[in-house]
Structure 1
Amino acid sequence: MTHASVALVLLDEMPFFEVGIACQVFRSVWADSAVPWYGLRLCSTVPGDVRLEFGFTLNAGHGFDALAGADTVVVPALPYAHVESDRPVPSGLTDALAAAHRAGARIVSLCTGAFALAAAGILDGRSAATHWMFADTLQRRYPEVRVDASVLYVDDGNVLSSAGRTAGLDLCLHIVRRDLGADVANRVARTMVVPAHRPGGQAQYVELAVPRTDGDGLGQVLQWAAARLDEPLTVTDLTRRARMSPRTFARRFTAHTGTTPSRWLLDQRLGRARVLLETTDLPVDQVSRRSGLGSAANLRRHFTRHVGVPPTDYRRAFRSRRP
């Protein structure tokens, strides 16, 4: 069963990594299950073989005219020649992107794909993410765009953009979560053996994003805390569990995760609350207790601030669009 159509843009010499991410997430992985999935179409200047970076070849079954009929259009990282030089983005692509945007399609860029969205005028006046190495270039070339080089991805409703490399995977999983719920997104993440959710506001550049070893015990502390979110955990509890001084723990935690201990705890609890709101009929006060946020009022305050809607509205909206 098909949930929605996704058009993936391909260009000659396009980096393979982000193309692979989009193909992996939006392919027909649930074709034999009860979960409707996405119909993925590959689109290029003209139908036919497209030679990507490192000599990989993919066959695009559609031209750029097929973008206008898609529910979602994904632009992976552009060929380096379009980013590192003044070579313009092909007008056929920018025209097709602009037409798809006007027709109501959701437009998504991964890494330097943001340059194509900016060239099409779609990012004018909007916040956007791209790889931190090219953020200054994007801002200089397209001054109407509000470039945010500090985040993993930006969700601006029907226009979304990610930072470089694995941040594109975070954004694709975020889209699945938005469309089909946290339970389905978590299943996809487990299949791909990746974290189920990294918030978009998390820093994209971390000195030790993945520690070389877990000799400091932080990985065990995170697992211990994630299994006890319904308990009144505090940063002090995590610090004691790690057997570190508060200053050392805070420094190592930020190096490990790219965020602070308190924000990590809140993000985990809000993620638990989302799952409970989507998959159970528990009253809001019980959802709040089971996610460790205490009172229903506290859940509503944090949920509204960070998710954008109250918990009851989120549950109603999710169930109204669930297949």
Structure 2
Amino acid sequence: MHRIGYLLTDGFQVLSLATQTVFEFANLVARAPFYSIQNYSPDGGLVRSSLGLAVETRALDAPRLADTWMVVGVNDPLAEPPPKAVLDFVRLAGSQARRTAGVCTGGFVLAEAGLLAGRRATTHWAFALEMRKRFPDIDVEDDRIYIVDEPIWTSAGMTAGLDLALGMVEKDLGAEAARSVAHKLVMHQRRSGGQSQHSEMLDLAPKSDRIQNALNYARSHLNRPLGVEELAEVVHLSPRQFTRVFTAETGQSPAKAIEGLRLEAARLMIEQSRHSLDVVARETGFRDRRHMREAFIRGFGVPPQAVRRDARGVTA
């Protein structure tokens, strides 16, 4: 039996407990109690969640209590540092457990404990910049659903913890079991770790209607080359002015932003249609299928085929 320990502290994010349902249903799919789950806290007893709900926990006394540790985050990881007892335990557990995960802002606990030094990691997008500033020795990838840098796992915010838990089920019980669990939980799509936390259009958030109009035009004409000259003409600016204003308002060059829109559109087509990858590449403005694959690996960390395989597996 694989033992999973949830490490909770006062004010823990209540949604993180939803990940336990993933392991519960994995047991149902496996038709055996493969996983056992227990909640822990430094002193044991009742621990209050972010919602005020109190959860009964056992006291921490040995890192070998669990094979996998799920270190749960809080709504504001910057408000106060994790208790010393928690950091000491996480350091010891991280050296002895099969794997240790930081769920949402739980990644800050792992970072404070030194477990993320020299590793790739992610966290809730709202706190990724602060993690990068506080811990320059961590390769923070703020646009990932979850990251596995064995034996350390970290997830993005909120519901991304469900994807991390499903990733663990896949590693332990296989892809078919993970797809079956996702289907039973009515998760319309089992997102791979490389998927984006953001909507590209929301992430760009231009300040002026002019640049917003250019982005709207681009999204409606992704099958075109969409050079700076064309976009600048749409909003009645010179190419030089357009590039300067666009970069100032969005923090990205026009070329990078357009590639992001192409990637998002291509991913949605791959997930929601049965068009061939050649058609998807053509419709979203990539030169060819190979060009699209290179962009997917650069942007999402996985090839288009992996996205399609995950999407088809859940809905099959």
Deviations 1:99-154 (A, max 9, x none): 11121331001111001001111111111101111011112222222211121111
> Structure 2: how far apart are the matches of 1:9 and 1:271?
30
1:156 aligns with 2:184: no
Paired AA for residue 52 in structure 2: G
Query: Over aligned residues, Cα RMSD in angstroms?
Result: 3.5
- 2:66–2:97 Cα contact (<8 Å) kept: no
The residue aligned with 1:206 is: 199
1:84 aligns with 2:78: yes
The residue aligned with 2:3 is: 5
Report the alpha carbon displacement of residue 273 of structure 1 after superposing the two structures with TM: 11
The residue aligned with 2:64 is: 68
The structure 2 residue matched to 1:234, chosen from 255, 262, 277, is 277
> Structure 1's 204 and 39: CA in aligned 2 closer, same or farther, altered over 3 A?
same
> Structure 1: how far apart are the matches of 2:200 and 2:24?
33
> Structure 2: how far apart are the matches of 1:93 and 1:106?
17
- 1:48–1:59 Cα contact (<8 Å) kept: yes
Paired AA for residue 9 in structure 1: L
- 1:150–1:203 Cα contact (<8 Å) kept: yes
Q: TM-score, normalised by structure 2?
A: 0.67
- 2:101–2:154 Cα contact (<8 Å) kept: yes
> Structure 2: how far apart are the matches of 1:221 and 1:272?
8
> Structure 1: how far apart are the matches of 2:30 and 2:166?
19
The residue aligned with 1:267 is: 306
Report the alpha carbon displacement of residue 66 of structure 1 after superposing the two structures with TM: 4.3
1:111 aligns with 2:104: yes
Aligned length: 243
1:54-203 superposed matches below 5 A:
54-60=51-57, 62-80=58-76, 83-85=77-79, 87-203=80-196
> Structure 2: how far apart are the matches of 1:130 and 1:147?
8
Report the alpha carbon displacement of residue 90 of structure 1 after superposing the two structures with TM: 0.7
- 1:69–1:100 Cα contact (<8 Å) kept: no
> Structure 2: how far apart are the matches of 1:33 and 1:178?
14
> Structure 1's 193 and 28: CA in aligned 2 closer, same or farther, altered over 3 A?
closer
Q: TM-score, normalised by structure 1?
A: 0.65
1:46 aligns with 2:43: yes
The residue aligned with 1:27 is: 24
The residue aligned with 1:285 is: none
Quote the sequence identity (%). Answer: 30
Report the alpha carbon displacement of residue 260 of structure 1 after superposing the two structures with TM: 8.4
Unmatched runs of 5 consecutive residues or more in structure 2: 203-264, 287-295
> Structure 1: how far apart are the matches of 2:40 and 2:285?
51
Larger radius of gyration between Structure 1 and Structure 2: 2
> Structure 1's 182 and 143: CA in aligned 2 closer, same or farther, altered over 3 A?
same
Report the alpha carbon displacement of residue 32 of structure 1 after superposing the two structures with TM: 9.0
Paired AA for residue 192 in structure 1: L
> Structure 1: how far apart are the matches of 2:78 and 2:195?
26
> Structure 2: how far apart are the matches of 1:166 and 1:269?
21
